[in-house]
Structure 1
């Protein structure tokens, strides 16, 4: 791995971490496009790498801050547990489906999803 690659990976990791703690995004929306743009990874490689990065408890300290803020924190742990379990099941199923889809089509699906979210965020009060 070259020094340039290490610097790019460091910037991507730090940016994704900051945005994750700041507004709750970082994985797919930030890392996947940057892995493709700056490292030339395929869509499949970028998505897999983004998921691998999130395997360890990368958001532990951000979650801790939200948990300890104010009276009782800002996290409903019952909801978090339910969504986490379903997220794991969905992640398994989604990865099985994604690996069967051509990379070009997967990029288009990913782009459309990002566009829909962006438009909704920009134009919603």
Structure 2
């Protein structure tokens, strides 16, 4: 019973941070679950997805209340991510967990660098750059495959690209990225679950806690200065990536 309460409280913290950074909490929860809970990389990824799916749904709704989504842009993103996420997850469940952990740590460091670069470029709010459906589909497919492979949802990869390449502000990119995170996270959870890489009891307790706090995180994200948002996200990614690599 105590373990379930602890998992529930952990879910509250991850939900708030996931809403704040627009990533559903998985990128934050996975390194904590491997470093502190001692779970294997694939089990942590699969379990975190149970929390991520409802968190992403709620965060998506909250972001759309503040920044309505352009569906002509979101549909190519989400459709391509749905297809590629299952492929990425299938590959991940067939590989050694330590190999995936090293790749996960390197991904976090890469994303940290991209966000720091983005923070240096921020000069004010920007509009969406001109683009096309095939470019968005390519982005959705690539991000979906990486999100499925690492069990973090496609939004964590998409956000820095949407800001640096497509010209969105941080909060607008976070909202747009959630449109591809939802279908890809559902497909990834299905794949991890059927392969037995999920702790359902822990994940459901975390999901309940996360649903209570996601809205708080979204509210804080819209109040925080954009450079601060980018900087905090980058710092967390860097520290987590270094700690994961140090365990090898």
* Structure 1: gaps of 5 or more residues: none
**Which residue of 1 is the match for residue 55 of structure 2?**
58
Q: Is the 8 A contact 1:35 1:46 kept in 2?
A: yes
Q: What is the DSSP-based 3-state SS (H/G/I as helix, E as strand, rest coil) of the residue aligned with 2:55?
A: coil
Please state how far the C-alpha of 1:91 moved relative to its aligned partner. 1.6
Please state how far the C-alpha of 1:26 moved relative to its aligned partner. 3.7
Q: Is the 8 A contact 1:16 1:25 kept in 2?
A: no
Please state how far the C-alpha of 1:118 moved relative to its aligned partner. 0.9
Count residues in correspondence.
119
RMSD between superposed Cα atoms in Å: 2.0
**1:117 aligns to 2:148 (yes or no):** no
CA distance 1:37–1:44, shift in 2 (3 Å): same
Greater than 4 Å deviation, 4+ residue runs: none
Q: Is the 8 A contact 2:40 2:97 kept in 1?
A: yes
CA distance, structure 2, for counterparts of residue 11 and residue 30 of structure 1: 14
Please state how far the C-alpha of 1:96 moved relative to its aligned partner. 0.9
Please state how far the C-alpha of 1:24 moved relative to its aligned partner. 0.8
* Structure 2: gaps of 5 or more residues: 121-248
CA distance, structure 2, for counterparts of residue 121 and residue 111 of structure 1: 15
TM-score (norm 1): 0.79
CA distance, structure 1, for counterparts of residue 95 and residue 106 of structure 2: 15
Q: What is the DSSP-based 3-state SS (H/G/I as helix, E as strand, rest coil) of the residue aligned with 1:59?
A: helix
Please state how far the C-alpha of 1:111 moved relative to its aligned partner. 0.2
CA distance, structure 2, for counterparts of residue 99 and residue 89 of structure 1: 17
Please state how far the C-alpha of 1:12 moved relative to its aligned partner. 2.8
TM-score (norm 2): 0.43
Q: Residue by residue, what CA displacement relative to the aligned partner does 1:51-83 show, whole Å, maximum 9, x if unpaired? A: 23334x3333322222222xxx33222333332
**Corresponding residue to 2:75 among 81, 97, 119:** 81
* Range with bigger deviation, 110-119 or 27-36: 27-36
Please state how far the C-alpha of 1:33 moved relative to its aligned partner. 0.9
CA distance, structure 2, for counterparts of residue 100 and residue 60 of structure 1: 28
Q: What is the DSSP-based 3-state SS (H/G/I as helix, E as strand, rest coil) of the residue aligned with 1:58?
A: helix
CA distance, structure 2, for counterparts of residue 60 and residue 106 of structure 1: 27
CA distance 1:91–1:12, shift in 2 (3 Å): farther
CA distance, structure 2, for counterparts of residue 110 and residue 77 of structure 1: 31
**1:97 aligns to 2:94 (yes or no):** no
